[in-house]
Amino acid sequence: MMAEMQQRGGAGGAPAARPRVSGAQQERKGKGVFMQFIDDLINLRATAILIVGVLAFGAMVWFHTGSSGRGQQPKGPSVGRLKSEVDEMEKAMGAILESHTGVSQAAEEAKQAVAAQHELQEKYKVSAIFVFSAPNQGLRSAMRNMALHSWVKEVILIHEIDVGDGGGKADAAFPKHLNGKKVRYFPSNPIEPPSHEFAKFKACAELAAPENNVCYYQSTHRDASGYTRSLWANFLRAPKQIHSSVGANTYFNDLELTYRDDSFGLDSGFAFLAGGAYFLKEHAVNFVARKRDQLQVVMGGGTHINQEAFDQGSDVLFSLWVNRPPAELSNNMVPFATGIGEAKLYERGAYERRARQKEIHVVALKALLTDRLRVMNGGDAKVSRTTAPITPRLDTVSSCAKDRCLLTTNIQVVPRARSMKGERIGKMLRDKLETRQATPECEVFKAHQYYYAVDGNMQTQWVTTNKNVTRNDYFGLDLLKLHKDLQTISVAAAHPFQKDLVLEVSMDNKRWFPISVKPTKEFVDVWRGFEVHRYTYDMSESLAGAWQLILETPKAKHSSTPTPPLYIQYVRFRAQVSYKLPVILFDLDYKVGDPYDGTHSTAKKA
């Protein structure tokens, strides 16, 4: 077999074109599946993705037919022939990988990426917490939605009102298990005095199962099913941050209220949790355990904040005192349907809500500043034990329709916060919190928000209003998991420079590989004088061409030749020059085959 390959491959191990012979199809038909694959490889019709796929299949065959006794399959003649072909194929693949170090490196990187994804998914386990005053359909829908997901291990129900003897009846109304997940009902609020806001942190810190290290909370009036999966994927990107989903007004307002003081290690970012939020259990434990110290700091500052105000402002205090930039997604916030008809767009007044919480917000920041000073002078932290890292916010900005992906971009609607002195931050926050109505800039963003690029509706669009595109600006997608068969990327845009943007793909969001592909272009409509076109990028053909180029590259140039990733999770379009126009994006979507199916653990055993 190897001699035949070397004879056909020519000098240096580089595959040579095989001359056509009469009856080639009959000859090919008489060969086994694996021998046909080798012929394809010799003629450069197979990509490295297939190499890895077939090798994995070969490993599984070996696992079930090897002499170690682990497999249960009988060793009949057909199995023996199959194993023989697999052995020959593995030898041939080994020779190819040895000759093409770029392919070998890509295979190793893919193996590490798959292992890292599997490890990350196994590391975090979630307790889903719901605080309610009366059982309703929204609560039941929220419970069912969360119980569907593998990372959620239990559901905790906190009855906000003490129902007394009626607790037994209420408990009986809820299932003990839902989709295999344990449901735990507590008939009265686990804190005194009762507080809806503080209860979720108390439940996370003291009621969640010991083996669970993440908590999820949402209001029972919000339907989070449209972004549960993507919000979780966003959490896995940066687990130490608070991850929440909010409406466009809240998103914009929260960015306006975000400042930082790098000399103190302070971040004033605020996260609104009611729309759905994931956060580490250790953050809740720290918050609850330090409540007495925190109250002393807050109440000792000459303010009118008492314990009741403290409990009601718990979201503000918790998100500020975690002291890390929160990771919010600007999504379509809808309530659970309460009657006949579809759910409508739904978001309460973010600015008015913040104005009502002005005092607790400013007091919380003042307490955090005092705490940082105490730590810098050698004292113990009483409010927060974390120092805000000098890191940018995540580039994820919205969930895609049907919860299939995340929109990513480095084009911000509010300029990124610059470091300034803490006392100046307090003054600016107080001034900003006086605003009770959405600003004109916020209204413009809401009309052309991030979500409109990925909502599947061609009547809406994301526009980078008042922001022309500059060099290295980008937008793209996080596909939530590694994919081995990315087929097409589709972009419907009115900006005329779409065809000039460089398309890049990545496996880890760190190393990017440019894809050389000319999209097909189809006229769609005209919007405010701009022609809207749909651009379709054939990724499978382009990636196959990239791998063919790698296999044809002389060995001496392997180290300097970029190697395409075997799996893809991230896609982006990046500007190489500046344009005096904004991004006008109507739709961004993708088509993909089966995602990586999580058989890493089996392969590892083999």
* pLDDT tens digits for range 382-391: 776 666 666 6
**Assigned domain for 59 exists:** yes
Mean local confidence (pLDDT), 20-29: 46
CA distance 403 to 224: 10
**Assigned domain for 562 exists:** yes
User: Any idea what DSSP says for residue 504?
Assistant: E
Query: Computed over its alpha carbons, how large is the radius of gyration of the chain?
Result: 28
pLDDT of residue 173: 75
pLDDT of residue 82: 61
pLDDT of residue 40: 44
Contact 520, 584 (CB under 8 A): no
Mean local confidence (pLDDT), 435-444: 81
Question: Which is more confidently placed, 305 or 314?
Answer: 314
Q: What percent of the chain is predicted at pLDDT more than 70? A: 63
Mean local confidence (pLDDT), 15-25: 41
Q: How confident is the model at residue 547 (pLDDT cuts 50, 70, 90)?
A: confident
Question: Which is more confidently placed, 375 or 397?
Answer: 397
What does the block give as tokens for 493? 């845009």
Residue 496: asked if its preceding bond is cis (omega within 30°), the reply is no
CATH number, domain of 521, equals: 2.60.120
Q: How confident is the model at residue 256 (pLDDT cuts 50, 70, 90)?
A: confident
**Assigned domain for 567 exists:** yes
Q: For the segment 148-164, what is each residue's pLDDT rounded down to a tens digit? A: 999 999 999 998 765 55
Question: Which is more confidently placed, 285 or 36?
Answer: 285
In the predicted structure, residue 110 carries a pLDDT above the cut 80: yes
CA distance 76 to 268: 69
CA distance 245 to 227: 8
CA distance 243 to 239: 8
| Domain of 550, in residue numbers | 468-604
**Assigned domain for 138 exists:** no
Mean local confidence (pLDDT), 196-223: 92
pLDDT of residue 578: 95
pLDDT of residue 465: 78
Of the residues 38, 67, 99, the one at which a domain ends:
99
CA 375 to centroid of chain Cα atoms: 34
Across 117-121, 314-318, 597-601, which has the greatest mean pLDDT?
117-121
pLDDT of residue 472: 95
Q: What is the 3-state secondary structure (H, E, C) of 379-408?
A: CCCCCCCCCCCCCCCCCEEEECHHHCCEEE
pLDDT of residue 389: 65
> For all residues of the chain together, what is the average pLDDT?
77
pLDDT of residue 15: 37
pLDDT of residue 98: 60
In the predicted structure, residue 297 carries a pLDDT above the cut 80: no
CA distance 395 to 402: 20
In the predicted structure, residue 217 carries a pLDDT above the cut 80: yes
**Assigned domain for 68 exists:** yes
The count of domains in the chain is 2
**Assigned domain for 249 exists:** no
Q: How confident is the model at residue 74 (pLDDT cuts 50, 70, 90)?
A: very low
In the predicted structure, residue 240 carries a pLDDT above the cut 80: yes
Contact 228, 288 (CB under 8 A): no
Q: How confident is the model at residue 14 (pLDDT cuts 50, 70, 90)?
A: very low
Of the residues 29, 64, 99, the one at which a domain ends:
99
Least confident stretch, 37-51, 225-239, 511-525: 37-51
483 beta partners: 568, 595
Mean local confidence (pLDDT), 431-435: 69
Q: What percent of the chain is predicted at pLDDT more than 90? A: 39
Q: What is the 3-state secondary structure (H, E, C) of 89-114?
A: HHHHHHHHHHHCHHHHHHHHHHHHHH
For residue 278, the SS3 value is strand
Mean local confidence (pLDDT), 357-366: 71
Across 42-46, 67-71, 463-467, which has the greatest mean pLDDT?
463-467
pLDDT of residue 160: 76
For residue 475, the SS3 value is strand
CA distance 42 to 34: 13
pLDDT of residue 267: 76
**Assigned domain for 140 exists:** no
pLDDT of residue 71: 42
Mean local confidence (pLDDT), 227-233: 97
What does the block give as tokens for 292? 């007495």
Half-sphere exposure of 522 (CA within 13 A, CB side): 9
Sequence-distant (≥ 6) Cβ neighbours of residue 125 within 8 angstroms: 151, 153, 211, 212, 213, 214
Of the residues 79, 99, 119, the one at which a domain ends:
99
pLDDT of residue 604: 36
pLDDT of residue 520: 96
Residue found under tokens 């349907």: 337
- Stated pTM of the model: 0.79
Least confident stretch, 40-54, 70-84, 509-523: 40-54
Contact 32, 39 (CB under 8 A): no
CA distance 43 to 61: 26
For residue 218, the SS3 value is coil
CA distance 501 to 411: 15
Let me know how many helices (H) and strands (E) the chain has, helices first.
Answer: 21, 21
CA distances for 220 relative to 130, 161, 198, 285, 507, angstroms: 7, 15, 16, 23, 36
In the predicted structure, residue 275 carries a pLDDT above the cut 70: yes
Question: Which is more confidently placed, 81 or 393?
Answer: 393
For residue 231, the SS3 value is helix
What does the block give as tokens for 412? 């911000």
pLDDT of residue 204: 95
Least confident stretch, 13-22, 30-39, 51-60: 13-22
Sequence-distant (≥ 6) Cβ neighbours of residue 92 within 8 angstroms: 1, 2, 5, 38, 41
Contact 92, 38 (CB under 8 A): yes
pLDDT of residue 222: 87
Mean local confidence (pLDDT), 582-591: 97
Contact 491, 534 (CB under 8 A): yes
Q: How confident is the model at residue 406 (pLDDT cuts 50, 70, 90)?
A: very high
**Assigned domain for 192 exists:** no
Across 15-19, 320-324, 425-429, 592-596, which has the greatest mean pLDDT?
320-324
